Amino acid sequence: MRLKPLSQQVIVITGATSGIGLTTARMAAARGAQLVVAARDAKALQELEDQLRQRGAEALGVPTDVGSKDEVKALAQAALARFGRIDTWINNAGISIFGRLEDVSTADSERLFQTNFWGVVNGSLEAVQHLKAEGGALINLGSELSDVSVPLQGMYAASKHAVKGFTDALRMELEKERAPVSVTLIKPAAIDTMFTVHARNYLDVEPQLPPPIYAPELVAEAILAAAQRPQRDVYVGGASKASSLGGYHLPRLFDKIGETLMWNQQRSNRPAAPLRRDALHASDSSAELQQRFGAGGVLESSAYTRLQRAGSLKLALLGGGVLAAAYLLARQSGSASTP
């Protein structure tokens, strides 16, 4: 299967006004792609569209709640009306909840799944209808929590497990009918975005991401590489691959890591903000058009991800043991520095 270079592509990106989606949109625009960007906040979308155009890119912002099948269909129709085709569709929109599963309300859990899981389902099924015509790439954002789980983000992990199952099944069905569609699942480790700001919080302190934390540009690079060369799974950050390997081969050990290190490392030493805003049920305009949160010690590169993108799979697999050890050391180091 051959995919077009970015400069010849029309790319749809959901969740485009913050974090990974925003970074990917700006990077794709700089490389000549025509963009259709989607998010719930119409004002932020208009500002993003203006920014991209000022940088010389052709862009269209379409206000979209990915949890609505009708709105996702309208997104696709808007892309076709403006550009005549879709070459890559990126299902990036997502949200989290920090808190014990017993404390999280049913309404909040259902809303999370409506965005994280049904948003991917709606986007994927709409996208493949159009990608089949001329070929293209479907790229879904999973997580390192697609393969393992952690306490205090149980519903988020469950949604990312569901995204993995759906994406794998859809890939097999498309391959069976020889459809010219590449299906990729991206699995980032912890990324320095507005993730914790957007998340709903049930904790008595502000949530934080556990180390190691990687730059969003690494995920954007991985996404755009998959838009040009078919790939099945892409782990962004060695910690993501280490989590997957460790969770598969040493599940009870990783349970204990979750119960100790991961419990503490997701809790900051800052009291939970009163009247705290989030983006679970509606967009949070105060945190839009921001790529990074500004976490300390962010890793700007990943040797494992570079090897994976270069196709050096054997070297990457041989490094699995080293990654697992590095993962444990990083988690332990973060735990030692967390009050």
- Token pair 């010849």 is found at 8
Give dist(CA 108, CA 104) in Å, integer: 7
Contact between 210 and 295 under an 8 Å Cβ cutoff? The reply is no
Per the listing, tokens 């949200």 go with 95
Unique residue bearing structure tokens 């379409």: 62
Annotated catalytic residue, options 156, 202, 214, 235:
156
Residues in a beta bridge with 140: 91, 185
Give, as one character, the DSSP assignment of residue 301: -
3-state helix, strand, coil in the chain (%, to 5): 50, 15, 30
d(CA 153, CA 132): 36
Nearest Cα residue to 143 out of 122, 168, 160: 160
**Which residue bears the tokens 């500002």?**
47
156 is a catalytic site residue = yes
Which burial class, exposed, middle or buried, applies to 208 when counting CB atoms under 10 A from its CB (0-12, 13-18, 19+)?
Answer: buried
The span from the CA of 282 to the CA of 218, in Å, is 28
Residues forming beta bridges with residue 12, ordered by sequence position: 36, 89
For the purposes of burial, counting CB atoms within 10 Å of the CB of 326, is it exposed (0-12), middle (13-18) or buried (19 or more)? middle
- Give the CA angle between residues 170, 172, 173 to the nearest 5°: 65
Give 188's strand partners. 236
What is the spatial distance between Cα 129 and Cα 120, in angstroms, rounded to a whole number? Answer: 14
What element of type H or E holds 268?
strand 267-271
DSSP-assigned beta bridge partners for residue 182:
137
- Residues identified as active-site: 156
